[in-house]
Structure 1
Amino acid sequence: MNQPCNSMEPRVMDDDMLKLAVGDQGPQEEAGQLAKQEGILFKDVLSLQLDFRNILRIDNLWQFENLRKLQLDNNIIEKIEGLENLAHLVWLDLSFNNIETIEGLDTLVNLEDLSLFNNRISKIDSLDALVKLQVLSLGNNRIDNMMNIIYLRRFKCLRTLSLSRNPISEAEDYKMFICAYLPDLMYLDYRRIDDHTKKLAEAKHQYSIDELKHQENLMQAQLEDEQAQREELEKHKSLSAIREELELPNIEKMILECSADISELFDALMTLEMQLVEQLEETINMFERNIVDMVGLFIENVQSLMAQCRDLENHHHEKLLEISISTLEKIVEGDLDEDLPNDLRALFVDKDTIVNAVGASHDIHLLKIDNREDELVTRINSWCTRLIDRIHKDEIMRNRKRVKEINQYIDHMQSELDNLECGDILD
């Protein structure tokens, strides 16, 4: 994953390098024509190739304000920087470098194709501004947490994703997890995702996806509420400015401040609730793993005990059959000293009758052991499933109830404040 040592010294992106790169694009290219005929006009360059130049730091690109395509692969770049003026960039290749953190992309709002293949990246983040992103290549990095996939759900245009040769690609549920959590994805690791795979992934992770969608809806509702609160606050601020010009009483200013405080209180309460949701989710998941492990251990113990019961029954059967045949021989020879009950003596007719009777008893005992084992395993698995489902449902209901309580409380406070404001104005 690390770049091989290069005998060349690290180079700086200065004007000479950039002029040479533009000129090297050839007379057939528009940039090359400009370079030969009129001199280099960096603002007119649409495509720039700077690969295999041993570049250590991105710099001096501010003049390429209309650049659409930038190729910086196979260098020794350690940090993404110097791209803030490339707002029109559509295609960016930073593969085969030494980048550890995704950053410096906040202004690239038109970027559609981003390649960070073969770097040292361990976390997917700081891509929020790339609302048009369609292709993302992060193969051969150090990403090891599947939760990074959930972050990518916000990119509605993303259709192609490459994560091969990362630690997470070795996970057993790698493909199914990504297909479930990114349902609009068409290509994974440059292979098309068929509809059958998407349906299987959705069915496998349906419960988790439903819960995640619920949380996303809550967060969206929170954002919408915050936006509404901000708009309301702006209205109050405008009203405050007008009232100040009209020299309104101080009570009106206090009312506006209270309205802002209510908005801040709402944000604080919702933030605390979201933090609580995350903490409880982590606790519930840990409990689920522990209880599943305990149930698995219980089942192993049950199966071990039942295996011992079968061994005892087999030993009992062998001993009983041996005693029965010995008793039959004594009866035939007239050497039996004990008096047998009539119903028991009726079985000692011949060897086949004895063997069949003892075998039937043995089969019944084994069947009872098997049925008991199945009953115990089924009941413990059913109990575990019901317990986990109930915990998840209880947490969802708790969260919904709490969000409703917060909204009702904030609405009540705002209503009280509005009524107070109206009363003061009438006075």
Structure 2
Amino acid sequence: EDTKGTVPIENLWQFTSLTKLSLSGNVIEKIEGLDSLVGLKWLDLSFNNIKAIEGVDTLVNLQDLSLHNNHISVIENLDTLQNMQFLSMGNNFLSQFSNVMYLRRCNSLYGLNLAGNPLCNEENYKIFVVAHLPNLVYLDHKLVDEQTRKMSSLRYQYDIEKLGLSETDALEQKKKDDEELQIHWDAFVEHLNGPQLFDSMCADDPDAHKLTHLSAVQATLCIQIFKNGLAQHQRRESEVNLFISSLQVALAKNQEKASWGVTNFRKKQLPQVQGFPVPCLQTYTFHIITGLLWGSGGLECHVFLDKDTFSQCRDLENQHYNKILEISMATLKKIARNELKEDLPIDVRMLFVDKETLTNILKSSHDIHILKINNREDELVTRVNTWKSLLMMSIHDKEVTRNRTRILEIKNFRAHIWSQMEKAYFSKLQ
């Protein structure tokens, strides 16, 4: 589907199947309302008043993006657009070569237009862009010729080699950081190896952040939760691995026992039972063969949660609240008497209007902090229980599939033996 200025921007979310969209010349100042248009492959936002690239991170299928003739001074927020092949940024306010360097992360880009930006007036502009974006086929609507490639390679060879090593190191470090963060996620203690929890409290409570001038707070309990979480993660991994290996051993023994039963049954001489009536033969076979089906055990996984640590967090927050309340009341009295010697920032001093106002601010901050701690604890418990349920479900489903397969094998084997016994029985009657 295509559309060009025929639909209000706020209603674009309804057109999730769009592959092409033009909002050129709509005097747009901010990119928004495109989150649901994940199928877009072509997007024209040229001739607007856009100052920042934003709101396009969900457009992962985008191949052609035009931001021509806007007010953009920085190329950013395009990391997720790994399918982008053409980018038009002509007639904007790009003045730094760092914008070109940023585009090195766009691996599919082979067409780029920067004409009309201040950086185009820089010396060696063309060979700089070609050297740092070696996959480019078109630059400023012109084919990149071999002579330009050779010049750019000679001029920036050392810089490119050095940059390549730096980017390789950065990728390796990012991979290492991602792997470490994944371990923290698996242990349910991500972002607890520092003051992040405390910082998140202040993020939702600006007044509390101002009052930190009056009292210092440490995040040692967060580190304790983090360490305990990693230790319990290793314990859980060991328990699950032990259970899986024990289950495999049990299944192997059951299979060996079942194979022995089948082998032993095959050794029986059919003439010994040929005198039985056919119904008796069926019953006899049924009881022997069904003895080959063995059940499997279940998993009882105990997940250890150190709730005492979160209780200590709440106790620490209560202590901090009482301490900051005491200090604040004392500071309020000093301010009222003009006895305060400390030079408090203006925004902090403005909190000390009267006792009731200050008390309400502190109580509100305290409630926010306790809520943050409770939410973090609830999140941890919920995720642990979800992990346990999914693990149990996975093992159960595998066992159900295995057992059904074994039952089918037993039914087929039983039918085969019964067929042989029937043939032997009737052949003797004849």
Same-fold call, TM > 0.5?
no
If asked which structure has higher relative contact order (CA below 8 Å, sep 6+), I would say 2
Q: Could you say which TM-score interval applies, normalised by the shorter chain?
A: 0.3 to 0.5
* TM-score, normalised via structure 2 length: 0.44
